[in-house]
Amino acid sequence: MAQLKKARHEYLERVKMFMDKLEEADLFNEQNVARVCIHEAGHTLILWFLRGSEKFLEICVVPDPDGDYDGYTASEPRAESTRSQMMAEIACYYGGKIAELLFCKKSIGHGDDMRQAKKLARKLAGVEANPTIRSARRQVKLILDEAEELAETVLIPREKMIKKHERPSGMAPCQIGSDHSQEKAAGEFCWPAAPTPL
């Protein structure tokens, strides 16, 4: 119990230092928050509308220690997946990049997403490809291209939905999970639980 209390106190001190740093240096950058919101909205729309996607849990934009903002979109992972479900998961990794390209004309926050997409594509190619390295690389590229196209088929027709969520000013304090049982730290933004997919 004492360790939990100490950890909580240290976390709150870090949040306070971060918020003080924002006020002093005026590091709050509304354009960056908007970009992160667009990026995370792209992932979320894939989860909502692409058949075979994992169940959406939450989306949050959080301050990081550098005075910048970052985001994450959480979904409920599966123990095992079919090929189409794995393709939907890879497409979800492309959602943020494509949303940023649609609205910001460039994407700067997709590096980790692409690493995860390639990792999953390699896993899928290992199941599908014949054993030669050249063939496996070609198969990974084909899988990634197919997943990117899947993401585009979801996001391009839904540009207005992404645009609607670009500003954090209308967001409520962030909640953990869809049951809204715990509030998150100051400076975080969150969308409410997902609507039922169409």
Catalytic residues: 40
DSSP structure class, residue 106: S
Which amino acid is located at 91 in the chain? A
Contacts of 180 (CB under 8 A, 6+ apart): 192, 193
* Cα R_g (the chain), whole angstroms: 19
H helices present in the chain, as ranges: 2-25, 30-49, 83-104, 111-128, 133-155, 159-164
- Using DSSP's 3-state secondary structure scheme, residue 143 falls into helix
Q: Work out the widest C-alpha separation in the chain, in whole angstroms.
A: 58
Q: How far apart are CA 144 and CA 148, in angstroms?
A: 6
Helix axes 83-104, 111-128, angle to 10 degrees: 150
Residue 18: what are its φ and ψ, rounded to 5°? -65, -45
